[in-house]
Structure 1
Amino acid sequence: MRVDWKMFPMKLHYILRYAGTGPLMPFLPVIARQKGVSDHLVGIIWTVMPFFSLLVKTSAGALADYLRAHRAVFLTSLIIMTAALTGIYWSPAIDPEEHPIANATWDAPGTSGDRPPPWDAVRDTDVEGTSVGLCGGNTSECPGASLTRVELPASELATRYEFWFLFFWLLLQFCGYVVVLDLQEAVCFQMLGDAPHRYGQQRLWGTISYGLAAVAGGALVDWYSKDQDEKDYWPAHVMVALFLALDVLVVARLRFSVTDKKISRADVHEVFRRPSVMLTVLTTVVLGLSCGMIGTFHFLLVEDVAAAWDPEFSHLKLLQGLMLGVQCLVAEVPCLFLAGWLIKKIGYVNAFLLSLSTFCLRLCLYAAVTNPWWFLPIELLHGVSYAVAFAGVASYANSVTPEGAEATMQAIFGGVFFGGTGVGGLVGGWLFHIVGGWRAFLFVGVGNGVYAMLYLAAHLAVRRLWPARPPPPQGGKNYDETRSTEEPAREQQLLLNAAQVKLIPATSSSEFNNSDRQHSSEDSEREAVNQRKLTNIVTSV
């Protein structure tokens, strides 16, 4: 097996970068809830962060392209993300009020406020407290003297400095995260050069690392938090600091080239005048919405289902770590490895349709789970839903990128994607509050299926109404690839035809360009070679 040493540093970056975020970032919504933030406010926070980061990521991408300072922006954002993730651990919890469960308010229609309702009722509604379905439908297991944490209203949280301290670190880490994400993809495509289809083979190393780190981090948190009332994420924070510090050293020594041409605003604007590009932008928002719904509320749903299934469930973090392991190692790695081949084979449109359909199935299955261990097999759908979508968006952005705007285009499409995750947080939080957790996932899943049909119809209409501007790749080639391979062939044919009537020498444009770059002593020799080629061609004709 041949090792690609040119791309080895980039693979190492992916390994360290995702090993540094895997143990902690998926648990941030759970950590926010544990520190006293309500589920509804968690959704609002995860809505604000992506929209605020839009300004940061697009500005950082444009700055990197304009100043040709990709490495400096890359390193700065990585250091900021590391510092912010570390700061979250030291953010103080919002002091909760303690009340007996007998006095807690259970916001379910048809039930009294004195006792928790059975599981079927809890499943249909939100509960005013940190755990939904705490008693699992068996009220005899809920002693009246038990304590539960009551969520503070948003108006009260807004007056607490602990909330704003936590919000600051969450916002800062997310801004650093999205800039790192854009710059690493831009640098990776620059290093790949004329082989962008190999992007998935580089990115999959980050997925492997992320899955292993998440499983290890979840198990360590469970072990470290044994006999404690709440989970202590200290082992995860240690892993974050260690791996990301090593990644800073790797990024500082990455070798990649940056084109001398500076970003052209007119070229970027021209890209987004294409109807097919704008349709892809809208689809990216929907894909981001689905990812935002899962990323923000998935583990909250898992915790609620686990608490309802078994109030003494002691392997919660291990289960969540295993879920991430299945997502990354079993589902995402093969899909990333095959993503380039798949997109070439079926085209971007069919790849996005496949992702949307799988998101529909995945979210609907989440809504049906009552035993938390059943979440594990559902995670097998993560590869086709998320990995194909993410690789498709990144590759599509690279395929339509004007020269000199590499980081800018990745930032724009990445901003659109994470803007979609913000919409997912907003919609998910609102649905969680109005209809309850499982119905929220069901509604978003059905919405994916409906949009998939609308997207197909819109694509067919665009291809029919604007045939001069081809849609994303058909039969494995995008518009730029087709143009780059067909135009030289036409040029060679014209040159050969001209040679046959002895109008011009039968030399290719590449030979002309090479001759211009040689010294005067080599020009005469090149011309003699070309004349001999002309003689051979004419003779053969």
Structure 2
Amino acid sequence: MDYFQTWRKVIFLILLAIGNICYITIFFLPSLPGPILSEHHFQNVSCATLPRCNMKYHASAIASCNGMKDTMCHWICENTNFSTQLSFYADQNKAIISPDTTCLLNINEILLCQGNLTNNYNCNVICDNFKDDQCLYRSATFWSFIVLMCIGEISIYVFISISDIFCFIILGQDKRLKYGKQRLWGAMGYGIVVCLSGYMIDFFSHDKVYKNYIPSMLLMIIFTCIDFICCIKLELPFQSQSTSILKNVFTLLKSKVIVIFLCFSGFFGVLNSIMRNFLLWYVEDLSVATGYTNRIKLIEGLIIAAQAFSGEVIFFFLSGKILKKFGYGYTFTFCFICYAVRLGLISLAPTLWWILFIEFFMQGPSYALSFTAVISYGNVITPTGASGTVQGLVQGVNEGLGFSVGSLIGGILFKKFGGIMTLRIISVFAAFSALIYFVFHIFYFKQFKHKTETRNNIKWRELDDAQKHCNIADI
């Protein structure tokens, strides 16, 4: 963007188009064959009436990935409890345990079921998730989804990074701490549309196995068109261009303070990825356990709306004053502490309404304030004419590297330990990050001497004092 200033609006619009086209295309991917285990609990089921699987046909069906799926089910009967492996036939949308849709995989389990017909006739059953990872990773739908998501996410996050750069250009050096007041409008729009789309999805998916996402796709198309019109009308002031952008940035990276800042920016990305990728996953798991599956999309929309309208709007609005009052160092530490408290409380929440309450208060001081602090400090350290490069580096570490590492670690932890333990582990990580950053701030950053390279006009500032050396108007 720093090299192609005459093409910056065209690049901006192309990224917006590519990202949204990829997201819309995902709606048209075919679903995977086989039943969905939408509810893990079954009541009044007879084990004795289930037939034995044809093992030759079963092996062929599993190998060909025709939709037949296996899982372990745990039976709770009047006088006995036991576990059996069941196979669900492919010709059904919702998994049902019956002689026509399910069979027993082990001959010993058939004898166990038939051994006590009276006691086993009316049992409650809890089934584990399907063991179909092999077929999932071999499907064209999965890899098409991965490719479209990668291209879409890359395009949108670069688009967001450039939009932040444009925002700082329009605000100018004197009003850079008013960035949060601009960003809060994005939070408000996000909250309104998510809540609306969640309600519409549940409304049009009533009693259906597969959720109907067409309403959210239509909303996406409408608001993308509006966004295009606004971007075309956007007037950007001229920005001075440096002749040695990369040299200035490499010189900037020689500062230990800047490197440490980038590392902790990546830590914020890890925490944000856990909340963005796994919070709603955890919410859906909790909804199964608490009986809220019929209203799950509406509740998810309410949670995200609570995040946007309460915490994000307030803290985006107040972020400039908070940064000016307490400085970047103490603000970063406070945000890490808020992430630790937030994750710990969510892991203890007994119902979805508790999570809604927690997100109402904790999204702002954890995500909104940390995001504004990272972006604003990235603007403070930017050499003249290199705003796009430095902001790209900062957001690449935060939203790119940190987000990717957090997604990978979160996925591994969720699979190995489950949602509750994962949230508690990440909560400890956030608390540890707060402690380490506070130690750096007290014993290193405050002792750090300013360094100035007059040839490149690059200046390094302490985290707390960075804005004090700039001409900043009161907010």
User: If the length of structure 2 is used for normalisation, what is the TM-score?
Assistant: 0.77
In structure 2, how many angstroms separate the alpha carbons of the residues matched to 1:308 and 1:442?
19
In structure 2, how many angstroms separate the alpha carbons of the residues matched to 1:298 and 1:465?
39
In structure 2, how many angstroms separate the alpha carbons of the residues matched to 1:149 and 1:347?
48
Match of 2:470 among 481, 485, 503: 481
In structure 1, how many angstroms separate the alpha carbons of the residues matched to 2:302 and 2:369?
21
Task: State the Cα RMSD in Å.
Answer: 2.8
In structure 2, how many angstroms separate the alpha carbons of the residues matched to 1:93 and 1:480?
57
Counterpart in the other structure of 1:176: 155
Is residue 322 of structure 2 the alignment partner of residue 342 of structure 1?
Answer: yes
Q: Give 4+ residue runs of structure 1 displaced > 6 Å after superposition.
A: 98-103, 139-142, 146-149
Counterpart in the other structure of 2:65: none
- 3-state SS of the aligned residue for 1:299? helix
Is residue 397 of structure 2 the alignment partner of residue 430 of structure 1?
Answer: no
Shift of residue 359, structure 1, vs aligned partner: 0.1
- CA change 1:196–1:141 in 2 (3 A) is farther
Counterpart in the other structure of 1:398: 379
The answer to whether the 8 A contact 1:104-1:113 is kept is no
**Larger proportion of helix:** 1
Trace 1:287-306 onto structure 2 (pairs within 5 A): 287-306=268-287
In structure 1, how many angstroms separate the alpha carbons of the residues matched to 2:2 and 2:123?
60
Counterpart in the other structure of 1:105: 72
Shift of residue 467, structure 1, vs aligned partner: 2.0
Is residue 171 of structure 2 the alignment partner of residue 192 of structure 1?
Answer: yes
Match of 2:449 among 451, 458, 467: 467
In structure 2, how many angstroms separate the alpha carbons of the residues matched to 1:373 and 1:105?
31
Match of 1:220 among 183, 200, 207: 200
In structure 1, how many angstroms separate the alpha carbons of the residues matched to 2:434 and 2:175?
30
Counterpart in the other structure of 2:214: 234
Structure 1 residues 382-430: Cα deviation after superposition (integer angstroms, max 9, x where no partner): 0000000100111011101111111111111111012111111111111
Match of 2:393 among 392, 405, 412: 412
- CA change 1:141–1:429 in 2 (3 A) is farther
- 3-state SS of the aligned residue for 1:104? strand
Is residue 164 of structure 2 the alignment partner of residue 211 of structure 1?
Answer: no
- 3-state SS of the aligned residue for 1:92? coil
Unaligned residue ranges in structure 2 (runs of 5+):
48-69, 75-80, 87-93, 96-119, 452-459
Counterpart in the other structure of 2:8: 70
- CA change 1:273–1:479 in 2 (3 A) is farther
Match of 1:84 among 9, 12, 22: 22
Match of 1:389 among 354, 370, 374: 370
Shift of residue 459, structure 1, vs aligned partner: 2.4
- CA change 1:315–1:140 in 2 (3 A) is farther
Match of 2:358 among 375, 378, 386: 378
Shift of residue 272, structure 1, vs aligned partner: 1.5
Structure 1 residues 6-39: Cα deviation after superposition (integer angstroms, max 9, x where no partner): xxxxxxxxxxxxxxxxxxxxxxxxxxxxxxxxxx
Counterpart in the other structure of 1:246: 226
Structure 1 residues 432-464: Cα deviation after superposition (integer angstroms, max 9, x where no partner): 111111100000001110111111112233235
Counterpart in the other structure of 1:332: 312
The answer to whether the 8 A contact 1:356-1:452 is kept is yes
Letter of the 2:249 counterpart: V
In structure 2, how many angstroms separate the alpha carbons of the residues matched to 1:393 and 1:98?
42
The answer to whether the 8 A contact 1:357-1:449 is kept is yes
In structure 2, how many angstroms separate the alpha carbons of the residues matched to 1:287 and 1:140?
53
Unaligned residue ranges in structure 1 (runs of 5+):
1-63, 117-128, 131-138, 486-541
Structure 1 residues 360-384: Cα deviation after superposition (integer angstroms, max 9, x where no partner): 0000111112211111111020000
Structure 1 residues 218-238: Cα deviation after superposition (integer angstroms, max 9, x where no partner): 001110111211211110110
Counterpart in the other structure of 1:161: 140
Shift of residue 167, structure 1, vs aligned partner: 1.2
- 3-state SS of the aligned residue for 1:114? strand
In structure 1, how many angstroms separate the alpha carbons of the residues matched to 2:83 and 2:142?
29
The answer to whether the 8 A contact 2:71-2:131 is kept is no
Is residue 264 of structure 2 the alignment partner of residue 264 of structure 1?
Answer: no
The answer to whether the 8 A contact 2:72-2:127 is kept is no
- CA change 1:358–1:98 in 2 (3 A) is closer
In structure 2, how many angstroms separate the alpha carbons of the residues matched to 1:315 and 1:395?
39
The answer to whether the 8 A contact 1:190-1:257 is kept is yes
Higher relative contact order (CA 8 A, sep 6+): 1
- CA change 1:142–1:295 in 2 (3 A) is farther
In structure 2, how many angstroms separate the alpha carbons of the residues matched to 1:142 and 1:390?
51
Counterpart in the other structure of 2:115: none
- 3-state SS of the aligned residue for 1:267? helix
The answer to whether the 8 A contact 2:270-2:404 is kept is yes
Shift of residue 478, structure 1, vs aligned partner: 2.5
Trace 1:106-125 onto structure 2 (pairs within 5 A): 112-114=82-84
- CA change 1:402–1:479 in 2 (3 A) is farther
The answer to whether the 8 A contact 1:344-1:473 is kept is no
- 3-state SS of the aligned residue for 1:183? helix
Counterpart in the other structure of 1:508: none
Letter of the 1:443 counterpart: I
Q: Mean alpha-carbon deviation: is it higher for 427-436 or for 89-98? A: 89-98
In structure 1, how many angstroms separate the alpha carbons of the residues matched to 2:315 and 2:378?
19
Shift of residue 98, structure 1, vs aligned partner: 6.7
Counterpart in the other structure of 1:11: none
The answer to whether the 8 A contact 1:355-1:385 is kept is yes
- 3-state SS of the aligned residue for 1:96? coil
Counterpart in the other structure of 2:58: none
Shift of residue 82, structure 1, vs aligned partner: 1.3
In structure 1, how many angstroms separate the alpha carbons of the residues matched to 2:230 and 2:121?
57
The answer to whether the 8 A contact 1:398-1:410 is kept is yes
- 3-state SS of the aligned residue for 2:228? helix
